[in-house]
Amino acid sequence: MILPDQIHPDLIDITCVLFDMDGTLLDSAPGVTSSAAEALTAVGAPVPSLSELRKFVGPPMIESFRTVSGLDDETARHALQHYRRAYADHGAIQSEVYDGIIPLLDQLYGAGIPLAIATSKVEDQAERLAKHFDLGGYFVNICGASDELGRADKTDVIAELLQRLAAQGIDVSNPVMIGDREYDVRGAAAHGIPSIFVTWGYGHPEESAGAAAIASSPEALLPLILNPSRNRNHAVLL
């Protein structure tokens, strides 16, 4: 058991930080859910309640069409095409940066820790959003999904991002993944990377299983990353 005055061994001397985007940096639910609803309508599928549509936020979108809406593979692919058109047209800009994220990034950037994004969102949309919200300057790399390269699962996205960072000369010996869904925790674990689960996103508490720590606010993340031995308010070590 980890006592309150102890440091989780996986969160010591972090060399770089990988951030999820939806539900971690950005509240993107309005655009994702409305675009998903449009896509389901376009393929003749029923549109579920808003609470069900919120399950689309975070996982690979085609997986959500299959698991949340029960679409077969072909219909799910068609829905994905409609979703991406709607999201690119108007859904993306319905997002907003969570309170506390900019000060957090300012402090991490100022401390000299390389920051990067690992998202299940299509990469060009992730780059577009980072630019739109003036986040791009904080991150040394933004890696997202790619149909052409067969990169959809968060595990694959993290693998690609780690390769890019290493090629840039970034120290990837002890990274940490920050995210709000089980996909972030599992994707990081597949590469032996610890994760910090954030509770302000769209995940349920049970999705934190396997994370090294839980943070309830961006302010709580800073001491976990920079100085885990101090100021642990609102952060739980697992």
**Confidence category of residue 238, pLDDT binned at 50, 70, 90:** low
Fold of domain 9-27+96-237 = Rossmann fold (3.40.50)
CATH code 3.40.50.1000 region(s) in the chain: 9-27+96-237
The whole model's pTM is what? 0.83
Residue 146's beta-bridge partner residues?
151
CATH 1.10.150.240 in the chain, residues?
A: 29-94
Report d(CA 140, CA 69) in Å as an integer. 36
Q: Give whole-number Cα distances, 72 to 27, 35, 78, in Å.
A: 29, 19, 10
- Residue 153, C-beta contacts closer than 8 angstroms, at least 6 positions apart: 60, 120, 183, 187
Domain 29-94 has CATH 1.10.150.240: yes
Q: Cβ distance 177 to 117 under 8 Å?
A: no
Instruction: Give per-residue pLDDT as tens, 29-45.
Output: 899 999 999 999 999 99
Q: pLDDT confidence of 111, banded at 50, 70, 90? A: very high
pLDDT tens-digit series, residues 121-178:
889 989 999 999 999 999 999 999 988 888 888 999 999 999 999 999 999 999 999 9
